[in-house]
């Protein structure tokens, strides 16, 4: 099946590329039975494939393509199944892209929750033991005639104090381990929650992005989200 897609800055193109140096009707992309031909459509600043200016050239997904100074990423614009082109991605429909990002963020939140739930029991035991020591100490002040019993309580206090130190050390160690895991999870998230065009980390949460009418990448202006009508 043969298809011709128009590429350029004007809104009437099949693939609209919002970039100042791209001409209104910059290029043509022809799909001839699965073979892709890219043609310069008398653009001002040219079409470049792997650093060579072309008037027409067969291209594939590995080629580095520039329209003037703007990189043209085939995968971003075309629906691809296997190696076959199944049409053009509607650039105003961000549901697929944003859905993917949202899923990445949800996975990160789930992982964070799991890390936060990791046994915090040692800290609780530590607090209980500290309170126990305080209560024993206080009971002496409140009931002065308990002093005869105090001599029996001293070994108890020592044992409880030793336990509290143990629980404290354990809790600190668990805390450090949790911190490490949190950092790892965050690093992983930062590598995935990125703009599909420039790979930069999107430093806003999905819920914040969804509150806006439209959200573009801060670096390359790729449309990341557009509120559905």
Q: Is 143 in the site for Zn ion (CB under 5 A)?
A: no
DSSP type of residue 36: E
Stretch that binds Zn ion, among 82-90, 94-102, 133-141, 212-220 (CB under 5 A): 212-220
Say whether residue 217 binds Zn ion (CB under 5 A): yes
- The CA radius of gyration of the chain, in Å to the nearest whole number, is 31
Q: Give rounded-to-5 percent helix, strand, coil for the chain.
A: 45, 25, 30
* Whether 48 contacts 65, CB under 8 Å: yes
Q: Is 194 in the site for Zn ion (CB under 5 A)?
A: no
- Quick note: the x/- pattern for Zn ion over 152-191, rule CB under 5 A, is ----------------------------------------
Strands 27-32 and 35-40: antiparallel
Q: Select from 136, 161, 220, 223 the one that contacts Zn ion (CB under 5 A).
A: 220
Among 169, 211, 219, 227, binds Zn ion (CB under 5 A): 219
Of 45-53, 119-127, 128-136, 194-202, the segment contacting Zn ion by CB under 5 A is 194-202
Q: Three-class SS of residue 182?
A: helix
- Alpha helix locations (H) across the chain? 74-77, 95-117, 121-142, 147-192, 206-210
Q: Which is nearer to Zn ion, 160 or 220 (CB)?
A: 220
Which residues contribute to the site for Zn ion (CB under 5 A)? Answer: 195, 197-198, 217, 219-220, 222
């Amino acid at each position: 099946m043969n298809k011709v897609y128009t590429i350029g800055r004007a809104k009437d193109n099949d693939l609209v590329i919002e970039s100042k140096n791209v001409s209104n009707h910059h290029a043509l992309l022809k799909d001839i039975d699965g073979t892709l031909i890219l043609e310069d459509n008398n653009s001002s600043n040219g079409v470049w494939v792997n650093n060579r200016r072309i008037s027409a050239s067969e291209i594939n997904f590995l080629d580095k393509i520039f329209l003037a100074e703007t990189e043209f990423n085939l995968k971003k614009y075309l629906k691809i199944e296997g190696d076959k082109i199944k049409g053009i991605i509607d650039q105003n429909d961000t549901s697929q892209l944003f859905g993917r990002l949202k899923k990445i963020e949800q996975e990160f939140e789930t992982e964070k929750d799991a890390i936060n739930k990791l046994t915090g029991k040692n800290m609780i035991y530590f607090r209980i033991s500290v309170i126990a020591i305080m209560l024993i100490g206080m009971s002496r002040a409140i009931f002065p005639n308990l002093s005869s019993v105090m001599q029996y309580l001293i070994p108890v206090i020592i044992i409880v104090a030793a336990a509290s130190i143990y629980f404290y050390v354990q809790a600190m160690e668990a805390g450090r381990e949790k911190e490490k895991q949190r950092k790892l999870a965050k690093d992983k998230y930062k590598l995935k929650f990125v703009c599909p065009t420039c790979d930069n980390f999107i430093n806003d949460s999905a819920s914040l992005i969804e509150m806006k009418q439209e959200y573009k990448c801060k670096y390359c202006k790729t449309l990341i989200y557009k509120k559905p009508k």
